[in-house]
Chain A
Amino acid sequence: DADVTQTPRNRITKTGKRIMLECSQTKGHDRMYWYRQDPGLGLQLIYYSFDVKDINKGEISDGYSVSRQAQAKFSLSLESAIPNQTALYFCATSEGGLGTQYFGPGTRLLVL
């Protein structure tokens, strides 16, 4: 079974719609992250959370919000989706300190 799961795996939505991407992990890690990946570009950090009560903005947080419902769950919301949010979204987890990040399988989002 996968340690980091993401739902949905694929999503098509229309401009202006609110959508939520969910992430769950069974690794027992405190730290969780949301990234987006665009073709030919590296991973860009959207938000990260070091524990349930800690939420931090990343490089490109505008237009996104997150919720850390539990240690194992971290969801990403697009309040009003726009076409340039079409991308591949990854959730990741890590332990504290020098922690390698472990990634989920990704959610492919298309905003029409």
Chain B
Amino acid sequence: GESVGLHLPTLSVQEGDNSIINCAYSNSASDYFIWYKQESGKGPQFIIDIRSNMDKRQGQRVTVLLNKTVKHLSLQIAATQPGDSAVYFCAENTPNGANSKLTFGKGITLSVRP
């Protein structure tokens, strides 16, 4: 079946280093992808998105890369800070007429060491 998954359940990085969080998706028809950040006790927060006609998009300290050939999505966080500690998960949008579906991955915990 279709699935959105993350390769690693946890990621520990040193403060100041760059972080790379990976996501695999299996539906080649997906046309839009989103990265969310969820801090403890809060709802998921939009970080950055990318459409399938792009392979890279940059935000403030974050970059999303999309490789449609291998159905892989990654989130890069530059100069990781303690405030970046959270669960991160990707979501893919699969078009279906007016009823497009957003499927979420399980999430990966990013832990920033001081």
Contact = CB atoms under 8 A, between A and B. Distances in A.
B78 interface: no
B93 A103 contact: no
Interface size on B, as a range, is: 20 to 34
Interface size on A, as a range, is: 10 to 19
Contact of A90 (B31, B41, B44, B49): B44
Contact of A42 (B43, B100, B105): B105
A42 B104 contact: yes
Given A50-B99, A100-B34, 13 more contacts: A41-B106, A42-B89, A42-B104, A42-B106, A97-B100, A98-B31, A98-B93, A100-B46, A102-B46, A103-B43, A103-B45, A106-B41, A106-B42
Interface in B91-114: 91, 93, 98-100, 102, 104-107
A41 B41 CA distance: 15
A90 B44 CA distance: 9
B75 to A, nearest CB: 15
B contacts with A: majority SS: strand
**5 tightest Cβ-Cβ pairs between the two chains A and B:** A103-B43, A43-B104, A42-B106, A42-B104, A103-B44
B98 A105 contact: no
